[in-house]
Amino acid sequence: MLDADMSRQDASNAPSPRDAGEPSAMTNAAEPLKLVIVGHVDHGKSTLVGRLLFETGALTEEKLAKLKAVSEKRGQAMEWAFLLDSFQAERDQGVTIDVSRIHFQTARRPYVVIDAPGHVEFLKNMVTGAADAEAALLMVDASEGLKEQTRRHAYLLRLLGVGQVAVVVTKMDLVGYDQARFEAIARDIEAYLAELGLRPNVILPISAREGANISEASAAMAWHRGPTVLEALDGFAPRPAPAFRPLRLPVQDVYKFDDRRIIAGTIAAGSLRQGDTLLFSPSGKTARVQTIETWSAPPKVEAHVNEAVGVTLDRQIFVERGEVASHLEDAPILTNVFRARIFWLDDAPLAVGDVVKIRINTTDAEARVQAIERVIDTESLAGGGAEQVKRNEVAEIVLRARSMLALDEARQSPETGRFVMSRNFRIVGGGVISMEGYPDQRASVTVRSSNLTATESDVDRDLRWRRNGHRGLVVWLTGLSGAGKSTVARETERKLFNKGLNVYVLDGDNVRGGLNANLGFSPEDRTENIRRVGEVAALFADAGVIVLASFISPYRTDRDRARQAAGDAFHEVYVKADLSICETRDPKGLYKKARAGEILEFTGVSAPYEAPEAPECEVDTGRQTPEESAEQLVAYIEQAAALKA
């Protein structure tokens, strides 16, 4: 940041950027609007910011004279960019390599302007700057037009959730203030942003060096009827305050003072009052707020967003760094798998199967790349499945953590819906969280029953198994719709029954009509459907029955939960068939309806399917007939169900 910048800057050669716009000089009581300025390298970002400081009166005569002297010393005309390009390397190369935060104000409100670097090698700094922005100025050089890095920056704005964008076509003086040139660039920009789902607030022509259309309309571009840059800035709406969002208090640390345990953290969203009942996630522990402590001040009755506080509770519970405190209502999502839109910054590519450390708020966890669904070409916005993400690429991936995480979707809570990735203690990427197609697992892992006492039957499972002459099993058939699960299960049931084995099929036909009749097909309902079936199947197996559970069961976590319920009686069978084959076996026309958008969240089309990683048995119905598949499964089950001597 600028404090660090100042330690490197030669104060005798250039005015201080921090001094250029000192926040203490502001008299406007409004909250500053956070604005990021992005674009291709050398498209005039720093020049524009320097000019904005001059036009808004943020420069003293002394600083202006110093800037003029620096420019003359280097044999250049007034170079406004020197206000920001405070590193010697930047002045020599004409490249901004750090993020500067500059304060100024208009008649309407104050601003914090983030001048982000445009060069591809400094993309990490651009992302750092844009992550906190409420609005953006996207710079385009009139003589060069839309460049690759401009496209990449625009995509990253969308990825980071910056929806308010004004496009500034600068250096119009270099093209003779040509209206036709401006309109051609404006059409290209508007079309590209539309593909991203972004609609620019305004596209306007300027010359930052000459001050044209910065604070006053330029006579050289009388054909432009739109706003000036300052008017465009004042047209941005501030982001809704996180104070009105549900409470999120990531636990930073726990301190012991005397006999008190103080849980410390900074409120990321919402507000907190003494007496509130807090839920800590992912542990699920609850307690009531006894006091709200602040440093070197008396206890408070309430605290609000961005306040660093310490909380004592009415009872001692074990809470550690990384937990997230919330109210009982509007708690964060609990999951160990989520989708993410990421940008990758490391020289070594990110590949499927790689394990990275992720940080979400104060939580550090290891996560494995389960899938790379799309690597985005920022030129064409085309994308497809890939095995790796290379440096400076953006992608949509699926991450699976080793434990439950408490998190929010970025679209719901930008402050808590972002994360960074690291390798060997180096930040190598970051992104935003999406749960599209995946369930909130809180309901599945929350135990609500109480005052229960387990009792053991006098007839244990070994006795039941010996009477039946075989072990009880949960044979879990998973695969896409149309893979042939039910066909294989029914044929296998018939063959095993004819051999004298106690066998029964559980599938959607006999479960969703009764036990699970109250469930739909949302991700959460799918999870609950499989949870119930898994528990029932485990009871069947305990009673000595071979259960053939035939369910799409798209989420690996749900199948793992069913495995945990049945223990060593659980056997996962992957009924494998390519999606193209499944679509040809579509007697009910479900795939066709899903492709037409008539069925939402359809597995394999608009909802994810996580294939087993290491199933006990794999039946390839794409290559085998149902009879052959059933014979293979019967042979496997007979061996698995055989009683040991």
- Mind listing the pLDDT tens digit for each residue in 473-499? 999 999 999 999 999 999 999 999 999
> Residue 1 pLDDT > 60, yes or no?
no
Q: Check if the beta carbon of residue 279 is closer than 8 Å to that of residue 328.
A: yes
The predicted structure's pLDDT at residue 148: 78
The predicted structure's pLDDT at residue 240: 67
Architecture of domain 333-436: Beta Barrel (2.40)
Torsion sign (Cα): 195, 199, 205, 207: negative
Q: Convert the pLDDT of each residue in 390-402 to its tens digit.
A: 987 888 899 999 9
Catalytic residue among 215, 553, 580, 629: 553
Does CATH place domain 461-641 in 3.50.30.30?
no
Q: Convert the pLDDT of each residue in 199-245 to its tens digit.
A: 899 999 999 888 899 989 999 999 999 999 999 999 998 876 667 78
> Residue 98 pLDDT > 50, yes or no?
no
Lowest mean pLDDT among 144-158, 316-330, 526-540: 144-158
Going by C-beta distance under 8 Å and a sequence separation of 6 or more, which residues neighbour residue 346?
391, 423, 426, 428, 429
Quick one: pLDDT band at residue 82, thresholds 50, 70, 90?
low
Cα R_g (the chain), whole angstroms? 31
> Residue 15 pLDDT > 60, yes or no?
no
Q: How far apart are CA 235 and CA 270, in angstroms?
A: 27
Q: How far apart are CA 387 and CA 68, in angstroms?
A: 53
Quick one: pLDDT band at residue 154, thresholds 50, 70, 90?
confident
Give the single-character DSSP code of 212.
Answer: B
Average pLDDT over residues 271-293: 95
CA distances from 87 to 3, 104, 202, 222, 376 (A): 13, 22, 33, 38, 33
Average pLDDT over residues 187-195: 89
State the span(s) of the chain assigned CATH 3.40.50.300: 33-234, 461-641
Pick from 38-52, 352-366, 449-463 the range whose average pLDDT is largest: 352-366
Going by C-beta distance under 8 Å and a sequence separation of 6 or more, which residues neighbour residue 394?
152, 155, 156, 159, 341, 342, 343, 344, 375, 376, 378
CA distances from 224 to 29, 37, 178, 541 (A): 33, 22, 11, 77
Q: How far apart are CA 612 and CA 628, in angstroms?
A: 21
Quick one: pLDDT band at residue 120, thresholds 50, 70, 90?
very low
> Residue 17 pLDDT > 50, yes or no?
no
Q: Greater confidence, 518 or 118?
A: 518
Quick one: pLDDT band at residue 118, thresholds 50, 70, 90?
very low
The predicted structure's pLDDT at residue 14: 35
Secondary structure element (H or E) that encloses residue 344, with its range: strand 333-344
Alpha helices by DSSP H, listed for 438-514, are: 442-445, 461-468, 485-498, 508-511
Q: In what order do the strands lie in the sheet with 135-141?
A: 100-105, 110-115, 33-39, 135-141, 165-170, 202-205
The predicted structure's pLDDT at residue 447: 67
Q: Convert the pLDDT of each residue in 542-595 to its tens digit.
A: 999 999 999 999 999 999 999 999 999 999 999 999 999 999 998 788 999 988
Beta strands in 353-496 (DSSP E): 355-360, 363-376, 383-384, 388-389, 394-407, 418-423, 426-434, 473-478
Strand partners, 395: 342, 375
In 3-state terms the chain splits into helix, strand, coil percentages (rounded to 5) of 30, 30, 40
Pick from 12-16, 125-129, 314-318 the range whose average pLDDT is largest: 314-318
Going by C-beta distance under 8 Å and a sequence separation of 6 or more, which residues neighbour residue 98?
5, 86, 87, 90, 117, 122, 125
> Residue 617 pLDDT > 60, yes or no?
yes
The tokens describing 491, both together, are 């044929």
Using DSSP bridges, classify how beta strands 394-407 and 333-344 pair: parallel, antiparallel or unpaired.
Answer: antiparallel
**Which option is the CATH number for 249-326: 2.40.30.10, 2.40.170.20, 2.120.10.10, 3.10.310.40?**
2.40.30.10
Q: Convert the pLDDT of each residue in 406-452 to its tens digit.
A: 999 987 887 788 899 999 889 999 888 999 889 999 988 876 665 66
DSSP structure string for 100-121: EEEEEE-SS-EEEEEE---SGG
The packing angle between helices 123-130 and 148-159, to 10°, is 40
Three-state DSSP at 22 gives coil
Q: How far apart are CA 101 and CA 113, in angstroms?
A: 6
Which CATH number applies to 33-234?
A: 3.40.50.300
Average pLDDT over residues 129-143: 79
The tokens describing 433, both together, are 């969280």
Closest CA to 124 of 429, 433, 431: 429
Quick one: pLDDT band at residue 294, thresholds 50, 70, 90?
confident
Q: Check if the beta carbon of residue 169 is closer than 8 Å to that of residue 146.
A: no
> Residue 104 pLDDT > 90, yes or no?
no
Token pair 């460049």 is at which residue?
A: 147
Q: Convert the pLDDT of each residue in 522-541 to its tens digit.
A: 899 999 999 999 999 999 99
Per the annotation, the verdict on 281 as an active-site residue is: no
> Residue 320 pLDDT > 70, yes or no?
yes
The predicted structure's pLDDT at residue 460: 83
State the span(s) of the chain assigned CATH 2.40.30.10: 249-326, 333-436
212: left (phi over 0), alpha (psi -120 to 50) or beta: beta
Q: Convert the pLDDT of each residue in 597-612 to its tens digit.
A: 888 889 988 889 999 9
In the 3-class helix/strand/coil scheme, how is 268-335 assigned residue by residue?
CECCEECCCEEEEECCCEEEEEEEEEECCEEEECEECCCCEEEEEECCCCCCCCCCEEEECCCCCEEE
